[in-house]
Amino acid sequence: MDENKNSQSQNPQKKHQIIKPSFYVDDERRVICESHSQIERIRTLSSLADLPAFQESREIEKILTCKACNHYHNDVCYFPKEEIDRIEKDRLAYTFNCKLCGGSIDRPLTVMYSIYNKEKFNVQIPLICCTCFSNLDDDSFIANSRKRILMLSLSFAFSIFMVIYYGRIAILSNIWGILLFGITLAFWIYLAIRDVRKIIFLFRGRKYYKKTYGIAKKRDKGKYVDEFPFD
């Protein structure tokens, strides 16, 4: 009975201490949590002009994760410790993909920001990787993705050629040959599938880009009156 009493008196106290995350995106397109226990250090690092940019960003990247936050360690964050662990595990297993290129999301807080907005405000913020973010900034996503699709298509064609080449050898050889060339064959099939997946992701990303960012661009140019049927 003593145990029961203890947990009862602990719970309301714990609820009181829950720390809500508060996110913003800085000039470098990094998601920052203002409730992070090391926020002062993050602010200092990002304001240091004389520190080489590379060193600065590496230092910040190291802290810009819930795992470097006291609220995670004391389990007082809006996100329970187990949930953060689970999300991190999923992120490292490449569960979260960039909406534009399908690549993995490297920054933990980018994922937390997206999940928080969805849970709390029912707002879906697209996950976008650092490379695509910089492509958005200098307006080079369409050109770069076209180049990448071309390279991937060449790589895919080569993989298919190798699949046919080794496939023929495997079929024509004895049992040992089938085993030996079968492994090589599997490798090239794997590469071909990987290329196709990336190409599909990029095509979807381009479609999404044109749908969402294309409108904003047309607006910039002042053509929006023609683009909106309800105007």
Applying CB under 5 A, the residues found at the interface with Zn ion are 21, 66, 69, 71, 77, 98, 100-101, 103, 129, 132
For residue 31, the tally of other CB atoms under 10 A from its CB is: 19
CA–CA separation, 200 and 100 (whole Å): 11
Please, what is the minimum distance in Å from the beta carbon of residue 119 to Zn ion? 13
Nearer to Zn ion, 34 or 227 (CB): 34
> For residues 57 and 131, which CB has a smaller minimum distance to Zn ion in the complex?
131
Strands 23-25, 31-33: pairing is: antiparallel
- Given the complex with Zn ion, which of 31 and 98 has the nearer CB atom? 98
To the nearest 10 degrees (0 to 180), the angle between helices 175-220 and 141-172 is: 170
Pair of tokens at residue 193? 């599938």
What is the nearest approach in angstroms of Zn ion to the Cβ of residue 3?
Answer: 29
Count of CB atoms situated within 10 Å of the CB of 73: 13
Cβ of residue 70: shortest distance to Zn ion, in angstroms?
Answer: 9
Closest to Zn ion by CB, 86 vs 219, is 86
Q: Which residues of 109-131 are buried (b: 16+ CB within 10 A; e: fewer)?
A: bbbbbbbbeeeeeeeebebbbbe
3-state secondary structure of 104: strand
* Phi, psi for 33 (deg, rounded to 5): -100, 120
- The least CB distance from residue 78 to Zn ion, in Å, is 7
By C-beta, is 31 or 103 nearer to Zn ion?
A: 103
State the nearest-atom distance from the C-beta of 130 to Zn ion, in Å: 8
Contact status, residue 110 vs residue 76, Cβ threshold 8 Å: no
Taking the least distance from each CB to Zn ion, the nearer of 23 and 188 is 23
Q: Least separation, in Å, of the C-beta of 5 and Zn ion?
A: 30
Chain-centre distance for alpha carbon 219: 28
Which residue shows structure tokens 């936050």?
Answer: 69
